């Protein structure tokens, strides 16, 4: 018999744990902090890891195991661990893999809190980070030092949706014996699998498209079994575990990931094409628009372009603020990857504390607007964006 693994969609839907004695069709919620043992020998053998058994929900729980196993299968990884948030996954990965005095080479365009980790907290352990800009990948090898341990990047980046060539990053990491860690949040496991290109650990904020409905926070790290074992031991002792309830919500969310993400991408492409033609827009960036500087790379490594569109409104900061004020249907919110379309203006909000020069380092111009395109009827989204662009 053929032992081919189930397809992505089927894995997302059917990758379910065992049922309880009640034979429920949908996975039950195992809201328990600990588990019981039959006798002293069962308990001894379980703690000695001679058998696979749940001991305590900080270590594992049937709901978190189900969620993790689905992501492991979807990313083509060997193992994984689920965290309370995406940042818990990022911090625990660095906390595990780095020793005092190690060095990181990272793309400068990373999630804000990850950058704060690099600049404010990791230096406490004498861990420094060197940065390359999205259009300076040819500089990466010059940044590598004898103590460099990790090469780190996100693709597409937030908020400017730049694309980094994962195949190139994988080759550099391999040549210099670095661990390649990729935050795959914007792509989801459906659109892009960095392990194929040599990533050792792949991180997701499950808060975004994996939940996709703006309800719960979560994070996950998957990858090579030996590294994940270390990340697991670090985490079971330091306590950033995902709650069983959030794992239950997120595992259910995965059942609809494919159809949601396909629709998100279809709507996002329509938004990008609409914005491209609008007179009050200087430029639009979307991975699957032909004028994206990394269009060919995006096509190579992503199934579809994702749900985030970046564009520059004419008129700078003031125009950006006016645009937000004129929005009627879409939400002004810090989240992304929700069923509801969300618009943000980074220069006046999330990145307002940076100087204009520092903002430009991460491709944030004064008029940059980020749209996380949702699942509403695309005509309604376009109508709202159009009237907001034209109200001045
Ligand atoms: C949101 C986000 C994170 C952090 O995730 P939380 O769940 O909010 O902690 C990390 N990386 C990227 C790219 C994100 O968008």
Whichever domain contains 336, its CATH number is 3.90.1150.10
- For residue 205, the CA-to-ligand 1 centroid distance in Å is 5
189 and 138 housed in the same domain: yes
Residue 2 lies in a domain: no
Residue 103 belongs to a domain with what CATH number? 3.40.640.10
- 66/257 Cα distance (integer angstroms): 15
Percentage of residues of the chain with pLDDT beyond 90: 88
288 & 374 share domain: yes
Please give the distance, rounded to the nearest whole angstrom, from the Cα atom of residue 92 to the centre of ligand 1: 14
Looking at the domain assignment, is residue 211 inside a domain? yes
Question: Mind listing the pLDDT tens digit for each residue in 62-105?
Answer: 999 999 999 999 999 999 999 999 999 999 999 999 999 999 99
Give the CA angle between residues 105, 202, 220 to the nearest 5°: 125
What's the rounded Cα separation, in Å, for the pair 376 and 274? Answer: 16
User: For residue 33, what are the CA distances in angstroms to 19, 30, 36, 141, 154?
Assistant: 19, 9, 11, 47, 34
In a shared domain, residues 322 and 383 = yes
Tokens of 65: 């195991």
Cα 317 to its chain centre, rounded Å, is 28
User: What are the beta bridge partners of residue 284?
Assistant: 311
From atom 8 of ligand 1, which residue's Cα is the shortest distance away? Answer: 86
Name the one residue in this structure whose structure tokens are 């309370």: 84
Domain that holds residue 145: 8-254
pLDDT above 70 (res 2): no
Mind listing the pLDDT tens digit for each residue in 208-234?
999 999 999 999 999 999 999 999 999
Residue 334: what pLDDT? 87
In a domain, 286, yes or no: yes
Q: Quick one: 234 and 277 in the same domain? A: no
Number of domains the chain is built from: 2
- Report how far residue 209's alpha carbon sits from residue 265's, in angstroms, rounded to the nearest whole number: 11
Residue 360 within a domain:
yes
Q: At what angle do helices 62-75 and 244-254 cross, to 10 degrees?
A: 40
Whether 12 is covered by a domain: the verdict is yes
Q: Which domain-ending residue is among 254, 279, 300? A: 254
Pocket test for ligand 1, best of 82, 89, 94, 111 (most atoms within 8 A of CB): 111
Say if residue 1's pLDDT is above 60.
no
- Among the atoms of ligand 1, which is closest to the Cα of residue 219? 7
Look at residue 1 and tell me if it is in a domain: no
Pocket test for ligand 1, best of 94, 113, 159, 188 (most atoms within 8 A of CB): 113
Report the separation in Å between the CA atom of 248 and the middle of ligand 1, taken as the mean of its atom positions: 20
Query: Residue 225 CB: number of other CB atoms within 10 A?
Result: 12
Last residue of a domain, one of 201, 236, 254: 254
Instruction: Work out the pLDDT band at 3, boundaries 50, 70, 90.
Output: low
pLDDT average, residue stretch 263-291: 97
User: Residue whose CA is closest, atom 6 of ligand 1?
Assistant: 86
CB 380 within 8 A of CB 327: no
> How far apart (Å, rounded) are the C-alpha atoms in residues 15 and 24?
15
Ligand 1 surroundings by CB, under 6 angstroms: 85-87, 111, 154, 158, 183, 185-186, 205, 207-208, 217, 219
Of 205, 220, 160, the residue nearest 369 (C-alpha) = 160
Could you say which of 210, 230, 254 is where a domain stops? Answer: 254
Residue 223: strand pairing partners: 79, 201
Q: Which residues pair with 205 in a beta bridge?
A: 219
Indicate the burial class of 334 (C-beta count within 10 angstroms; 0-12, 13-18, 19 or more).
exposed
Q: Do 128 and 117 share a domain, yes or no? A: yes
Distance CA 295, CA 299 (A): 6
Contact 251, 257 (CB under 8 A): no
Q: 3 lies in a domain?
A: no
pLDDT tens string 337-389:
999 999 999 888 888 888 889 888 888 889 999 999 999 999 999 999 999 99
**Residue range 14-37, pLDDT digits in tens:** 887 778 889 999 999 999 999 999
Same-domain check for residues 86 and 174:
yes
Token readout for 93 is 């990965």
Q: Does 195 lie in the same domain as 143?
A: yes
**Closest-lying ligand 1 atom to the alpha carbon of residue 89:** 9
Mean pLDDT of the chain: 95
Q: Are residues 215 and 228 in the same domain?
A: yes
Same domain, 316 and 249: no
The total number of residues written for the chain in this structure: 392
Same domain, 307 and 221: no
In a domain, 117, yes or no: yes
Same domain, 271 and 368: yes
Same domain, 102 and 32: yes
Confidence of residue 392 (pLDDT cuts 50, 70, 90): low
């Amino acid at each position: 018999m053929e032992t081919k693994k189930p397809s992505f969609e089927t894995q997302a839907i059917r990758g379910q744990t065992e049922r309880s004695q009640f034979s429920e069709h949908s996975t039950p919620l195992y809201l328990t902090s600990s588990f019981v043992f039959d006798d002293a020998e069962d308990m001894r053998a379980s703690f000695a890891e001679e058998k696979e058994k749940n001991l305590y929900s900080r270590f594992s729980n049937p709901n978190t195991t189900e969620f993790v196993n689905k992501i492991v299968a979807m990313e083509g990884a060997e193992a994984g661990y689920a965290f309370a948030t995406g940042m818990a996954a990022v911090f625990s990965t660095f906390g595990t893999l780095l020793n005092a005095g190690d060095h990181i080479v990272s793309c400068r365009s990373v999630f804000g809190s990850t950058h704060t980790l690099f600049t404010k907290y990791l230096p406490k352990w004498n861990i420094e980070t060197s940065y390359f800009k999205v259009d300076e990948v040819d500089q990466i090898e010059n940044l590598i030092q004898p103590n460099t341990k990790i090469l780190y990047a996100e693709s597409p980046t937030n908020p400017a949706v730049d694309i980094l060539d994962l195949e190139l990053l994988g080759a550099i990491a391999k040549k210099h014996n670095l661990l390649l860690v990729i935050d795959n949040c914007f792509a989801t496991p459906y659109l892009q699998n960095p392990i194929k290109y040599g990533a050792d650990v792949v991180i997701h904020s499950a808060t975004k498209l994996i939940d996709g409905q703006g309800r719960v926070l979560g994070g996950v790290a998957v990858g090579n079994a030996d590294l994940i074992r270390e990340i697991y031991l670090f985490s079971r002792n330091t306590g950033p575990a995902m709650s069983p309830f959030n794992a239950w919500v997120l595992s259910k969310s995965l059942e609809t990931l494919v159809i949601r993400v396909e629709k998100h991408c279809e709507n996002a492409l329509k938004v990008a094409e609409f914005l491209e033609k609008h007179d009050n827009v200087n430029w639009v960036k979307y991975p699957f628009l032909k004028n994206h500087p990394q269009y060919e790379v995006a096509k190579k490594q992503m199934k579809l372009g994702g749900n985030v569109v970046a564009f520059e409104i004419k008129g700078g900061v003031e125009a950006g603020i006016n645009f937000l004020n004129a929005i009627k249907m879409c939400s002004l919110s810090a989240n992304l990857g929700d069923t509801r379309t969300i618009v943000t203006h980074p220069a006046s909000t999330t990145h307002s504390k940076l100087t204009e020069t520092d903002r430009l380092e991460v491709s944030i111009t004064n008029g940059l607007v980020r749209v996380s395109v949702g699942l509403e009827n695309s005509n309604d989204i376009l109508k709202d964006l159009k009237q907001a662009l034209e109200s001045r």
